[in-house]
Amino acid sequence: MGLRIMSRPCLIGLDWGTSSLRAMLIDRRGQTIEEQFRPWGVMHLPVGSFTSAYADVTSIWRTEWPDLPCLAAGMVGSRQGWIEAPYCDAPATIEMLATRLTSVPDVGMHIVPGVALRGARPDVMRGEETQVFGSLDQGKDRCIVLPGSHSKWVTMESGSITDFHTFMTGEIFAALRDHTILGTAASSEKSTEAFDRGVLAARAASGGIAPLFFSARSLVLDGQLNPSATLDYLSGLLIGDELHIARSNAKPLLIGDADLCRRYRRAMNLYEIAAEIAAPGAAAKGLWRIARAAGLIPG
Amino acid sequence: MGLRIMSRPCLIGLDWGTSSLRAMLIDRRGQTIEEQFRPWGVMHLPVGSFTSAYADVTSIWRTEWPDLPCLAAGMVGSRQGWIEAPYCDAPATIEMLATRLTSVPDVGMHIVPGVALRGARPDVMRGEETQVFGSLDQGKDRCIVLPGSHSKWVTMESGSITDFHTFMTGEIFAALRDHTILGTAASSEKSTEAFDRGVLAARAASGGIAPLFFSARSLVLDGQLNPSATLDYLSGLLIGDELHIARSNAKPLLIGDADLCRRYRRAMNLYEIAAEIAAPGAAAKGLWRIARAAGLIPG
């Protein structure tokens, strides 16, 4: 309650993805004052609906500040979400996103469009564009990496998202761990040595890592890898494989879960790539910037 | 019963793998007279044990021919199997396997050792060595491909297994289909066009296929791929990726499930590789050859 007095809110921001919903009370500098977390992702809604989930997570703030605007980003705007917010084609600037918000009728919530890359190698993002624009003050021309279930490598040029590539790293890792022979011997121990080994094996693999997956098993059978280190080796293979896309002078900015960002930074160091980890709060800052550009809050 | 009169058996052969048990009554020319199938793989044994599964599947033949020798190949000889049959190191000949059979005490069953590749890129097989030697009359110097959950690419030189490589293609396909977003839109329709497209995408991918997995989703979202064709495209990616290992003049021999072999042959054709599909019965013929070399049956 002390913070509420010190810093007046101007926006409710929602980071509403596939697996969770994070609601943020955001102040006039784009900082988070209060935060609420629910495991109510678009694919994991509790009994009820988007409307009741939304009401639950915002009501405590609405009571006090009934007129606060609300802006959401993420899979809530997908076809499987609350209401479909059509993609904005790349190259995409913050101004383009701000002029194409989709409103949820009768609720007073707006949704940031995702970004689509068209052409021979199409790709899509929803939610990451907001985090990317939240990191604008850390450079308008750079490579931004958002590790996760679907890791994104984003190229930002002059403050515009011009290119990006999705790797299913986290989701593939979980599927291999939980549903193939590679998970059977695994333990929860951590081995940075095995992780590094996986990264270096991926780096040396001219034909990619799919032909190497079985090595996570055969190295164990041959006594060259500790069974408990299987998953770290596999994680190194998958993350290391992403790094082939990085230019040696990229100096990527990492945005996301702190542990995961450190894991990526370690892998990048093995590729002699200097990486930087973004300060927390990219989603809140991005929602606040887009809300300002859209005129939802004073500029 | 007619066949029993025409062709006298000399061996009971077991192809006992992770997911199933196939028992064969084999005649003096290495042909299968009768066959029984049980879903009792090493990891799927019914209540009871290896002993009772073995008794169940062989008793009908034992009653009539009590002295028939029995030879088994596959994961039944792994650490998770009935009794561990130590690997035979590559390069491995049929004579080397025959001198290193492991006997199951009190049962009268022998197990063929698997083959291990040592060194910087270790690999293992159990069961496939027997099928490979069953195809000896189709060439003693050739590349042999055994598609499956764990596809094997085997190099045979002068009748000896000198090198091989395991791809987790089938297991990875199932994990991606059943446990990632790529499976959600899938149907059981078949699209050879999408399969071919996946193969060609894998062929063109200089960095392997892991960076392409998400394209099975984004091509659909961009309207470039029919949702029902997702899995065929993914199958093409995975199988196509294996073919980078093939030499252009390899003329591989395909051994295994008929549908799967045709799928691989189609992919190979897209790589301008001429493939041949082996006649059925490689496992029986291999067990029979090894049994002869071991002196279990008359030479």
pLDDT, mean over chain B = 93
Domain count across chain A: 2
Indicate whether B8 and B124 sit together in one domain.
Answer: yes
Indicate whether B107 and B31 sit together in one domain.
Answer: yes
Residue A231 pLDDT > 70: yes
Residue A145 pLDDT > 80: yes
Interface of A with B (CB under 8 A): 116, 118, 121-124, 150, 165-168, 171-172, 174-176, 178-182, 205, 207-211, 213-215, 218-219, 221-222, 224, 238, 241-242, 244-245
To the nearest whole Å, the CA of B207 is away from the closest chain A CA by: 5
Interface touch B214/A242, C-beta < 8 Å? no
pLDDT of residue A2: 46
Rounded Cα distance between B89 and A203, Å, is 29
Q: What is the CATH number of the domain that holds A192?
A: 3.30.420.310
Rounded Cα distance between B23 and B31, Å, is 13
Residue B296 lies in a domain: no
Q: What pLDDT digit, counting tens, does each position of B68-95 carry?
A: 999 999 999 999 899 999 999 999 999 9
Nearest CB among A121, A179, A215 relative to B175 is that of A179
Residue B120 pLDDT > 70: yes
pLDDT, mean over chain A = 93
Indicate whether B187 and B123 sit together in one domain.
Answer: no
pLDDT of residue A185: 65
Q: Which residue has the higher pLDDT, A3 or A10?
A: A10
Residue A90 lies in a domain: yes
Interface touch B123/A214, C-beta < 8 Å? yes
pTM metric for this prediction = 0.93
Residue A136 lies in a domain: no
Q: What is the CATH number of the domain that holds A51?
A: 3.30.420.300
What is the average pLDDT across B151-156? Answer: 97
Interface touch A175/B175, C-beta < 8 Å? yes
Range from A10-14, A60-64, A91-95, A189-193 carrying the lowest mean pLDDT? A189-193
- What is the residue range of B246's domain? 169-277
pLDDT of residue B2: 46
Indicate whether B8 and B109 sit together in one domain.
Answer: yes
Chain A residues within an 8 Å CB radius of B123: 214-215, 218
pLDDT of residue A293: 98
Indicate whether B101 and B219 sit together in one domain.
Answer: no
pLDDT of residue B4: 52
Interface touch B210/A165, C-beta < 8 Å? no
Interface touch A178/B179, C-beta < 8 Å? yes
